[in-house]
Structures are given as structure tokens and as C-alpha cells.
Amino acid sequence: MTIEMSDIPIHHPVTASRVFSGQALVITPAANTVRMFNPTGSRIWKLVDGRRSVGEIIQTLMAEYTVDTEQATRTSLEFFAMLEEKQLIHWKKAPV
């Protein structure tokens, strides 16, 4: 699907996860897998709280990292697409 800036990512209900000292640990129990992300991916995972939109998450990253809008947007969207493909997140549309 095309990801819109107003879309709100949610941790997929099949996952279980925690962020330990900035390191996200994501378990997919039924698939018997454990995944870890690098610090930035872990930060995004923590920002995925079912309330923030993609745009808001990117804005937060830009405030925390030395990064321009183009790079932050491109790499964030790639990461969200990967999370969706691996069924680690799903989406809810922002209320109109």
C-alpha cells in the first residue's frame, strides 16, 4: 500500500516487544522469531504507539538527528514498508 504521512502505524497484534536501553527486541511468538533493530530503527519502533502519524514520527526523528527531510522521509518509509511486509506493524487511517 502507499504510505501517507497521515497514516498511523500500530504494532501488529502478533508481535510482543520491548525497547531495552534503546534496543528494540521484537518477538513474533507464533512464527518463533526474534528480531532486533539498530538504534534508529529501535527509536522508530518506540515511536510507533498507535497515536503518532508517520509524519509526526519523521518530524520527531528530524528533531533528534542531524538529517534532512528528504533522507528522513525516504529511509523512514522504507523501514515502515519493511515492518509492514514482515507483519510487524499494521495501519490505521487518521480520522478525517
Residues 6+ apart with CB under 8 A from 12: 87, 88, 89, 90
Asked if 3 and 44 count as a contact pair (C-beta separation under 8 A), the reply is no
Q: Across the strands, what pairs with 16?
A: 27
| Strand, helix or coil for residue 73 | helix
Question: Which CB, 5 or 67, lies closer to another protein?
Answer: 67
Query: Which residue from 22, 65, 69, 92 is in contact with another protein, where contact means CB under 8 A?
Result: 65
Measured from the CB atom, the residue of 6 and 33 that comes closer to another protein is 33
Residues that bind another protein (CB under 8 A): 11, 13-18, 20-21, 23, 25, 27, 29-30, 32-41, 44, 61, 64-67, 71-72, 75-76, 78-79, 82
